[in-house]
Structure 1
Amino acid sequence: MATHALHRLNQHRVTLNEHLPVDHRLSRVYRVGAGLMGLFLLVFGILGLLHRIGFFDTGGDRVAGLNTNGTLSVLSIAVGLLLLYGMVRGGNFASSLNIVLGVAFLISGFVNLALIGTPRNFLAFGMQNVLFSFVVGLLLMVFGMYGRVTGFLPHDNPYWRARHRPPEEL
């Protein structure tokens, strides 16, 4: 009897994103968010490399109103390309990527806020970079969570439908 209950429990085990619909109209929101942020980061990184700033220079050279150096430029290009890939792939991947990178930007903002004015500020962050990191992090999280996270999802929302299946479908 115990093995039957264990087998039944394993049969209904939920895996990551299993309850999420694969294709839905909200994917456009996730794609737009990833695309806009990715494009800005890509342009910022390219402009930073074109200024030929040293890789670990903390002199405060500015590009588009933000402090930068070669390391931050390369990192911006990498994250921008990742977000553009998320835009192309779309769907739940883009949503999850936006959320994860949004949290990473918020954490980066707090860490670099603590590092401003210290010799460990190897990304040459200034206060404007910290604020930018917070804004981009919040925007990415909003784009990623849009239509997924709220207590008042409409009944035609694919996430609401996936979470409220009749018991016979489980």
Structure 2
Amino acid sequence: MAHTPVNHPARPIYRAIGGLIGLYLVVFGLLGFFASSGGPFFGQGDTQALGQGTNLGFSLFSIVIGAIVLAGTAIGRNLDVLINQWSAYLIMVVSLAGLAFLRTEANIFNFSVSTVVVLMLLSLMLLMAGMYGKVGSDDEHEAWQKARLVL
């Protein structure tokens, strides 16, 4: 994509942001796992971790997504860009679905409003990290600069 920056000067910061988001998801998932262990997998109750509603299913979902983001950050080589973008889209869809089903029996992840807000913020930051973390050759950077000036 010509409009995606290549070799952005702040790309190490964006990569660190992606790693911190992955770490947050893993920590939240582990705390939620211990808080909701023994309960139903998709139980709806008052179980919370870090002030957000959760259950065993959502805790495991958070651990898996966070571990994938952390692995992508550790590997780098533009794999982190791809993982950050697709994880952000997935988290966005899950949070919007959670908002749509918040006060219904279809709230399988036991979301609360705070969970939806935090997930949406995390997904937007992860998407930003994915958009600005791309690394490329000098020729790709020059082509991006020329395309940017045309737009």
Superposition deviation, residue 33 in structure 1:
2.4
Superposition deviation, residue 94 in structure 1:
0.6
CA distance in 2, matches of 1:138, 1:162: 27
Which residue does the alignment assign to 2:114? 128
Q: Is the 8 A contact 1:112 1:130 kept in 2?
A: yes
Higher alpha-carbon deviation: 27-36 or 125-134: 27-36
- Same amino acid, percent of matched pairs: 29
Could you tell me the TM-score, scaled by structure 1's length?
Answer: 0.71
Superposition deviation, residue 117 in structure 1:
0.9
Superposition deviation, residue 113 in structure 1:
0.7
CA distance in 2, matches of 1:145, 1:159: 15
1:97 to 83, 88, 92: 83
Which residue does the alignment assign to 2:149? none
Larger radius of gyration: 1
Higher alpha-carbon deviation: 27-36 or 156-165: 156-165
* Shift in CA distance, 44/65, structure 1 to aligned 2, threshold 3 Å: same
Which residue does the alignment assign to 2:54? 68
CA distance in 2, matches of 1:60, 1:159: 51
Matched, 1:40 2:21: no
Structure 2 unmatched ranges of 5 or more: 147-151
Which residue does the alignment assign to 1:143? 129
Question: Could you give the per-residue CA deviations for residues 54-110 of structure 1, whole angstroms, max 9, x where no partner exists?
Answer: 311110311101001000111111001101101111131111211111122222221
Could you tell me the TM-score, scaled by structure 2's length?
Answer: 0.79
Matched, 1:161 2:142: yes
Q: Is the 8 A contact 2:53 2:111 kept in 1?
A: yes
Which residue does the alignment assign to 1:8? none
Q: Is the 8 A contact 1:61 1:67 kept in 2?
A: yes
Paired residue type of 2:23 = L
* Shift in CA distance, 158/67, structure 1 to aligned 2, threshold 3 Å: farther
CA distance in 1, matches of 2:96, 2:143: 35
2:12 to 28, 32, 45: 28
* Shift in CA distance, 164/30, structure 1 to aligned 2, threshold 3 Å: closer
Higher relative contact order (Cα pairs below 8 Å, separated by 6+ residues): 2
2:107 is paired with a residue whose SS is coil
Q: Is the 8 A contact 2:14 2:128 kept in 1?
A: no
Paired residue type of 1:42 = V
